[in-house]
Each structure stands twice: as C-alpha cells, then as structure tokens.
A and B are shown apart, each in its own frame.
Chain A
C-alpha cells in the first residue's frame, strides 16, 4: 500500500465521473436525481480536478501503473506539468458545462437522460485518461473511448437523417486520424516494441524516422483538431450535437489533440526540425484564414461557431509552429514566449467557445431555432444570455480587456522577434504572418458582430420569438462561471503566465515567469517594459471609471428628458423586421471579396418572375476538390475488392485452401 499521491487523487476524480455516469444509467428513470444531483456533482468533480491539477502543475512528475490492460503492458499513467495544465483546462471548463447541462437536459429530447448522463461522464473520464496516459496502448484506448462516447453524444437526436450523416462523418475522420496516431506510436516504439512513453523518450529515433513519426502524429491529431484539410467534420458535428456536448467538444476535446501533438513533438521526439514548425505554421495559418472567412458567411449559428473553432485551432497551431521554429534554432526564451501564447490561447478558447456554444443552447431551447435568419431581438427576452454572450463574443473577437486579446497579443509579440531568426527566408516571411493574424482577428470580429447582432439585437424576425424565455438558474450559473473565466483570464495575464512556467520549462526549457512577476500583477511585459507592455487592469479600470463619470457629468449638466418614439430610419415609414440585414446579407461583402474561396450556387429571380425565388448556397470547396474524389476512389476500390466476395461457400473454402498452399510453399522455401 503506497502513499496516496496527487496522481491517485486525479485518477479518483476521473473515476468518480465514471461512477456518476453509471449511477445515472442505473437510476435512469429518476430524472430529478440525474439533473439535480448527478450533473452538479459532475461539476463539483470538475472543480476538484481543476484544483488538483493546479497544485500538480509545478510538482515533480508522478507515475502510476494500473494492473489492467494487456498482459505484458499494464496501463501507465503519468502526471506532469503538461498534463496538469490540460487537466486544469478540462476540469475548469467541465465545471461550467456540467452545471449548465444540469439545467439543460430535458426528458424526451434525443437520447434518454440516463444514457446521456453515462455517455457524457464517460466522455469526461476518457478525456482525463487521454491526458494522463503514459503508454501508447492506454492512450489509444482512452482516445477511442473519447471518440466513441462523443460519437454517441453527437448522434443523440439520431432520428434525423442529417444528424446520422454528421455522426458518421465524425466517426470516420476520428478513426482515420486514430490510425495515424497508432502508426506514429509504432514508429516511435521502434523495433524494440515497447509502447510505454518512457521507452519512446529513451529510444533514439534516427534519420528519417522522427520526421515520419511527427508527420503521422500531425495527421492523426490534426484530424481531431480540425486542421485543414481534415476540418470537414467540425461544421457538421457541432451543430448536430446537443449544446453542452458541442461546447465540450469544441472547448476541450479539440485541445486534447493539441496536447497529443505537444506531447509527441516536444516530449517524445528529441530533435525538432525547423521545417516541422514551418509546416505547422502554414497549415495553421491556412486553417485560421479559411475558418475565419467561412464563419462570416454562415447562416446557422452553431456552424458559425464551428468555423470559428477551426479559426482558433489554426491560431493555436500557428503559435505551436512558431514555438517549434524558435526551438529548432535554439532560442528557448522566444520559444517559451510563443508557447505561452499557444497554451494561453488553448485555455482562452476553451472558455469563450464553450460559453458561446452554451449560449446558443439556451437560444435553441427558447426558440427552437438555429437559423440566424429566423432569430433577432432576443436582448429584450433573454437579457442574461445576451449579456453573457456579449462577454464571449468580445473575447472571441480578440478585444481588450478580455482573454482572447491577451493570447493574440502574445502571439503578435512573438512574431515581432522572427526577424532575428538566423534563416534567410524565415526572417523575411514570418513577420508578414503577423499581418495575416491581424486579418484573422479582424474577420473574427466581423463574424462575432454578425453572430451577436443578428441573434440578439434588432427586431425579432419571427412572431414566435416573443415567447422566448431566458436561461434557467443552473444554466445561468454555468454561463456565469465561463464568462467570469473569460474576464479573469483577460485581467490577470501574469498569474496565468506564472502558472504556465513549469509547462514551458518542461517543453522548451525556459519560462517567462521572471519577466512576468517583476512588474506586479497588473502589467504584462513578457520581455521588458521598454519592449512591450499591456495592462488589462488599467484598460478596464479606466473604462469603468470614465463611463459613469461621463454619464454623470452629461446627465447632471444638461438634464434633458428621454422620449420613446418610432425609429427614424431616414424617415422611411414602412419598417418591418424583414428589412433588417439577414445573416446572408451581413456576409455578402465577404462572399464578394473572398469569392475564390467559396463554392457558390445562386438562383437569382429575374424582374419578370411571378414567383421570385432567391437562393444562395455557399459550400466548402474541399468537398469537391478532395473528399468526393477520395470517396470515388475508395468506392471504386471496394467494388474491385468486392469481386472476391462471391457469396458461395465453395469459393471461400477455395480461398482458405489457396492460402494454406501458399503458406506451405512459403515456409518450405
């Protein structure tokens, strides 16, 4: 009997999640138990996990071997700074989402609540195990459990055709990706065949093999993260899933892919080549631009957010790639800066994107509508959701003083140093990437204004919106938690950077905590104060002071009244709610400017149509360039292989016979 270490506590918490799920499925007819006890308990577990991970982040690595698994390969678990950080992300986000889900789940909506409770908590447990796993086998088991449990959550409303299709696509991409990861582990384990991460760390992979392992891992984890061109499942699966599940998938599950790739490229592989970083950066940039442009033209609010997730994952990969580049040129301090930006953005995205997805959940419950063209004016009916969504929208648009801005600021700062790289082309080209990042951030702003403005502002576009109701109490708590996270992560950057220090030290051997702590909590100056500084506290403080001051001065000095009148609108008298910009209309400039990116089908009515019909369809060109050709090739291949399958027993016996003969000949010769 050994001492109860931190890792045991973490493991226990993860298993409590599983237990909660099992209780839920056993007492599946007791809805009150599930929604009022089990889900809140899951949230408490999330908090506990976050607390444990917080204390484990600067401890020394702890290992644990579980006596389950294969006969000669038991489950190895390990808790170090990197996994602690991602466990913190998981726990803190899950706390908000679980408490929200407690208020969100309904009887008679998709999968039965008991089963949903099991799947949801299994999903949480498997993510915790992915982060803890210390051997290839345990990792793959957890990874597959995560994919399967989330697949069943996505297909919760499986009676709809499109949701089944979305789930199928998700499962397909997840498994193609898993093959890549498995092969990558195979390469790293080498001929010795020891699948523990410890053995992989020690195994000197030489020559071309590290590159192959890295590329396979990039393919596998990229598929899960939604990196171009493997992003197609995201905009299908996210709208299909119930909102807490979309929040969990977008906020946390995508980050497990980032975790996996970080683990492989910095912990398991020793040499980092600069062009790995350049490749990551390029793919990330392409995904980010693509996601940003596509999110601005969406008309379904959850698809819009899904594309925005692709954009944010792209930004994370840009930072990741830059870290690899700096690291390969032995510039650990700058690598640490870029890595801090990357990890910080992971945390930020987890908070604001889950917040936004949960807000769409409330809107969905209140209005039964996902189509932006049929929403509007919800600020009057759903003030809580509106104002909390505004926090998420501002954070997601990368505006100060919220959290999205801090990580983008750090990322831009690290790009300013790229002109010092000792490589002729990189130091010319990389500073230009900063311009692309600015474009991405600005496009994200456009998409977020569209999202918020069309859903919550203006006049209701449908009659039934007048009956919309605000989020329930438990839902509000969940939203508040996440919104507070967005605000605090934005206001206390130095706390976060100090927290990240052990992680960056583990991965790139350097940290920013000294620079962060030398200026006080309120001033972020990662390199030096002369070089660059930003203080979100002063930012927010001055606005919070100035606004009431201006209000007080103006209203006290002039004392004029306020009258409610019909809108002016340049004197145009016949206003209806149909005359506001629709989601299509708001995206029109983007469709026009970036038309080469889209595959568009349009039907425009002529002036003489008696029944005019306008249709505009914007599709992802990757379907036509990449996926449909692949699908055709696969279909063709299967038809050829299907020739083997004649359906008569004699033929199959013949196959066995021929195989036997061939084997005999082979062993003899």
Chain B
C-alpha cells in the first residue's frame, strides 16, 4: 500500500467535501455581483445545510425505503466521483478503480437513483422532473463520452491519471480538438449540474423546474444530503474540466510539498471557473425544455467535431 497515494486521496476527498458547498456559495456570490444584487455570504450553503440537518424529516405517506435510501446513495456516489477525479495528484488509490467511462457510469447511477426517487411518492411534479432529468441525461451522456473519447485518443488512454499526466507534461501546443471538446464539455456540465440555460437551481416555478421537481418531496437531512451531493457534483465537474483542459500544476511525483502548492493552484482555478460559470449564467436566459435537445445536440456535434479534428489534423504527422 502506497502511503502517499492514500494520503493524497484522503486529502483530496476532504477538500472536495469541504470546498464543494463553498464553491456553490462562490458561484452564487459572483452571480449576485454580476446581477447588481447584494451577495449572500460565501458560507451560505453551509448555513442552509446546517439548517436542514437540524430539521425533522417530513416523509410522504407513500414514500418507500428506496426513497429514504436514495440520498445516502447519491451522496456516496458523488463523494466517490470527486475522489476519482485527479485534482491534487495523479497518484491516487482510487485512480485505477475507475477510468473516464466508469466515471460517466457513476454519474449515471446517481442520476437513475434520483430519478427513481422522484417517481417514488407518485406526485405529478416528481415524475415530471424525473422524465426531464432522464431526457437531459440521455442527451448529455453521449456528448460527455465523446469529449472523453477525444481526450483519450490524444492520451492513448481512458485512465484519468494517465490523461492528466500526458496533457500536463507535454510541450505547450494548442490542440484545436481540445478547444472544441472544451466548449462541448462546458455545455454538458451546465446541463448536468442543472445550471441556467437548461435548468434554474433557484426556481420553484412549476413549469420550468427539473432538478427541483424531482427532489420536491425531500426535507430535513435527506434534502441536506441531496443538496450537498449536488454541490459535490458541481465540484467534481469543475475539477474534471480543470483536469482535462487546464491540468498544469497537478503534480505527478510523490511529493507532499507539491500537494500544498497543487491545492493552492486548484483553489485559484476553481475560483476562476466559478466566476466563468456565473458569467455564463448571467448572460444567458433559461431555455424551453424542448430547446434542450438542440443545445445538447450542438454539444454532441462539437465533441464529434473535436474527435474528427483530432483524427484528421493531429494524428497524420
């Protein structure tokens, strides 16, 4: 057993669990500034979580054990996902356990469970949300996988650690394929994290909500876990974007001092990423649900284009 890998792994998991709600708060803060509102505190998500944890759970009469187990499962999945993405080091215990494809599978597992939980109580909004979530899911998943495939073809591997090592330690060349893939990835992550052009995390307006409709029946600690899991998902996606497109600064050698530097770099990158996300959310309006296929279809085509560009232009030499 490699102790450095274990240490890096635990550190990464801890940072993910702690920083994820803060990242969420940061995005909300940036958005408020950009929209000329007075911003909530950075730790607002924590205050909400703490409030929810301290409340009783109100459970619908009809709710089954699947409904009660789902928050714990979704939270575990997201924690595992953020442990798999290499952010601080490429030497991780979990890095051989799952490659990029398995990571997509993990996100899909969480999605299926949250959709099932949405259908469990049997209300009109719950199943509406589940249906829409699965719609967004099956459109986003191929695009996400094509992004991973493009990167995998460049790195000749689907293992995230290998990808990061390859991309971080090559000579600085601009890959046009990565540019396309990056745009596609951004579009997919907006959709997957229920952000503005697709879904609005701040709304409870019946006709437009997707994610919120599914979790409408949750309360108390269950809701807290789901909210936390949602912020973990945002964190994991941000880290994934950093790992694939801006991997500079992620150390591959076993050096504890490098971990500290890496953590600092990561925070800067995350802050910038969060600001960009808030900017996108401010500049775009939420679209109708039946425009979503066009949006995600565009993302898929961009990812395909990225792959073709890679195969045509970057492998010939």
Q: Could you list which residues of chain A lie within 8 angstroms of chain B, going by C-beta atoms?
A: 376-377, 379-380, 390, 394, 397-400, 405, 409, 412-413, 416, 419, 427-428, 431-432, 434-436, 438-439, 441-443, 445-446, 448-450, 452-454, 457-459, 523, 525, 529-535, 538-539, 542-543, 546-547, 550-551, 554-555, 557-558, 560-570, 572, 575, 577, 579-581, 585-586, 588-590, 592-593
Contacts and interface: CB of A to CB of B under 8 A. Distances in A.
Interface in B98-115: 98-99, 101-102, 104-106, 108-109, 111-112, 115
Given A412-B101, A416-B152, A419-B315, A533 B96 contact: yes
Q: Which of B72, B99, B138, B311 has the most CB of A within 10 A?
A: B138
Contact of B135 (A413, A439, A551, A589): A589
Contacts of A412: 101, 145
B296 to A, nearest CB: 10
B157 A562 contact: no
B216 to A, nearest CB: 6
A400 B102 CA distance: 7
Given A445-B137, A452-B116, A532-B159, A569 B124 contact: yes
Contacts of A445: 108, 111-112, 134, 137-138
B109 A400 contact: yes
Given A413-B158, A446-B134, A449-B112, A572 B124 contact: yes
A24 to B, nearest CB: 40
B180 interface: no
A376 B304 contact: no
Contact of A435 (B77, B142, B293): B142
Contacts of A435: 142, 145-146, 149, 300, 303-304
18 contacts: A376-B122, A390-B66, A394-B112, A416-B152, A432-B307, A438-B142, A442-B138, A443-B138, A446-B135, A450-B134, A531-B159, A533-B97, A534-B101, A542-B80, A551-B72, A566-B60, A580-B122, A581-B119
Given A419-B153, A442-B138, A570-B206, 11 more contacts: A377-B62, A379-B120, A409-B102, A530-B162, A534-B99, A535-B97, A542-B97, A546-B79, A564-B61, A568-B219, A586-B131
B271 interface: no
B18 interface: no
Interface of B: 53-62, 64, 66, 69, 72-73, 75-77, 79-80, 83, 94, 96-99, 101-102, 104-106, 108-109, 111-112, 115-116, 119-128, 130-132, 134-135, 137-139, 141-142, 144-146, 149, 152-153, 156-159, 162, 204, 206, 216-217, 219-221, 225, 289-290, 293, 300, 303-304, 307-308, 311-312, 315
A449 B125 contact: no
A565 B83 CA distance: 37
A564 B67 CA distance: 13
A664 B13 CA distance: 92
**In terms of DSSP, what is the predominant structure of the interface of chain A?**
helix
A567 B97 CA distance: 40
Most chain B beta-carbon contacts within 10 A, residue among A419, A523, A533, A588: A533
A434 B151 CA distance: 14
B212 to A, nearest CB: 10
Nearest to B109: A399
A580 B124 contact: yes
A573 to B, nearest CB: 12
B112 A534 contact: no
Nearest to B145: A438
A563 B102 contact: no
A567 B123 contact: yes
B138 A439 contact: yes
A361 B38 CA distance: 59
B157 to A, nearest CB: 5
A563 B57 contact: yes
A568 B63 CA distance: 12
B125 A569 contact: yes
A306 to B, nearest CB: 20
Nearest to A577: B122
